[in-house]
Structure 1
Amino acid sequence: MNSKDFKTRLTAFGTQNICVIDASISKSDYTPIDLSEANTDLQNFDISSSKDWDTYITNYLNKRNKKVAFGGYLEKRGIYNRSDYFNNPNPETERNIHIGLDLWIAAGTSVLAAFNGEIHSFKDNTNYGDYGPTVILKHELDSFVFYTLYGHLSRESLKRLKLGDKVKQGETIAYLGAAEVNGDYAPHLHFQIIEDLQDNFGDYPGVCSITDLEFYKKNTVN
């Protein structure tokens, strides 16, 4: 299936109305946030510090009287330079373009299945700056198979999961983790819709290089 068909099919399933964190939070309590290199506010604190990020996100939400900050798809970010897992001196292959949706909110927030499906895989991705605990769900709608990824979870979330377990749309599948377990980030959910998982298990790139960007734009959906 080409990328246009993939995105068209998902739109038909009403992806604009899915909820992947605490369903009691009104959409009016969401606010967009720009964490790209263009945001000069990021020059005013240590972006290598998860505590400074937490303070920045908290203040950002409080000033707007909101509960969730969201965004990040296709953002070029400087935060990944702190990690050898992402950092590469070659600008063509350095992974610094975010290819998922981030939802910034407190640790412990419930994470919900975006669609009916089953537990495909889960893993604690422990590289510095990585997802930490991660869950991938497999979905099939009208014979159309695709996957959703949920990263930066709590370790406790993985303990009760079993491969192949069925989940329903809106069901709590996990909870957000703190910086100590989530790759050393301020608490947030990394959410991704993926067409071809490419044989990955409990993991899939959430950040790519400019060289690979066109492929991931086709294989993932915001």
Structure 2
Amino acid sequence: MEKHSASIAKVVDFDVWKDQLLSLDFTASNTELTDEILDDTDLFSDWVNQKLISNGAKYGIGGYGEHRTIYSRSKHFNTAEEPRRLHLGVDIWAPAGTAVYNFYDAKVQSFANNNNFGDYGATIILEYNIDGFQFYALYGHLSLASLNGLEEGKYIPAGQKIAELGVKEENGYWPPHLHFQLIKNMEGLKGDYPGVCKFSERDQYLANCPDPNLILKSTFGK
């Protein structure tokens, strides 16, 4: 990816060297996020928006490898033995309707509407091959209209707009944002891949899901 960095296009309309970006912390150290806020998507969205406004930021960003408490808001992340809390992608927090682009020539691996509360909502997974290295990128929390016209194997050129961020009713009931995740091995899955794992499985999942800042070139990644 570094070798072909000049050929890698944008994922959203920001310039990490010029635009003001805000790193958002969703770990236990962020005591501002009370249960009252997390239990109400509108209050949660207002909190994110106020943080961006008060810091003069256009986008919020961050989260790779972050051990997050916010997933307690959804039973989707609970398991009998250990809850899933470790985030495997990078989130870009921006208004619903924000355009999302394909960063390199790709084809559609799969797509789905994962409509559980707290899930991805509308999701697109693209397949890439750079110098013989095959990998995938998952784009989650999209608008349902983003899935229109897609079919597995469809070619998507670099730079093409592929989606828009969805409203809460379409994105798994989250404040509008993009979950962007790189995946080496899809392990036979289509339309979905865990974006959050158990802390005890951290090493194996992070090995399969490289830092998306390789693509985003953001200075805010872990």
| Structure 1: runs of 5+ lacking an equivalent | 1-9
Q: Choose the corresponding residue for 1:71, options 51, 56, 62.
A: 62
Aligned residue number for residue 215 of structure 2: none
Aligned residue number for residue 132 of structure 1: 121
Aligned residue number for residue 172 of structure 2: 183
Aligned residue number for residue 7 of structure 1: none
Q: Distance in 2 between matches of 1:161 and 1:213?
A: 32
**Aligned pair count?**
210
Mapping 1:121-200, distance limit 5 Å: 121-200=110-189
Between Structure 1 and Structure 2, the one with more helix by share is 1
Please say if 1:13 is aligned against 2:19.
no
Q: Deviations over 1:141-160 (max 9, x none)?
A: 11111000100000111012
What is the Cα deviation at residue 44 of structure 1? 7.9
Q: Choose the corresponding residue for 2:97, options 89, 92, 108.
A: 108
Q: Distance in 1 between matches of 2:64 and 2:20?
A: 20
Q: Please, which moves more after superposition, 76-85 or 106-115?
A: 76-85
Q: Deviations over 1:114-134 (max 9, x none)?
A: 221111110000111100000
Give TM-score, length-normalised by structure 1: 0.88
Given that 2:19 and 2:58 are in contact with CA atoms closer than 8 Å, whether structure 1 keeps it comes out as: no
Aligned residue number for residue 6 of structure 1: none
Q: Distance in 1 between matches of 2:74 and 2:45?
A: 18
Q: What is the one-letter code of the residue matched to 1:33?
A: L
Given that 1:48 and 1:79 are in contact with CA atoms closer than 8 Å, whether structure 2 keeps it comes out as: no
Percent of matched pairs sharing the same residue: 37
What is the Cα deviation at residue 43 of structure 1? 3.0
* SS of residue in 2 equivalent to 1:211: helix
Q: Choose the corresponding residue for 1:58, options 35, 49, 61.
A: 49
Give TM-score, length-normalised by structure 2: 0.88
| Structure 2: runs of 5+ lacking an equivalent | 212-222
Q: What is the one-letter code of the residue matched to 1:31?
A: L
Aligned residue number for residue 28 of structure 1: 19
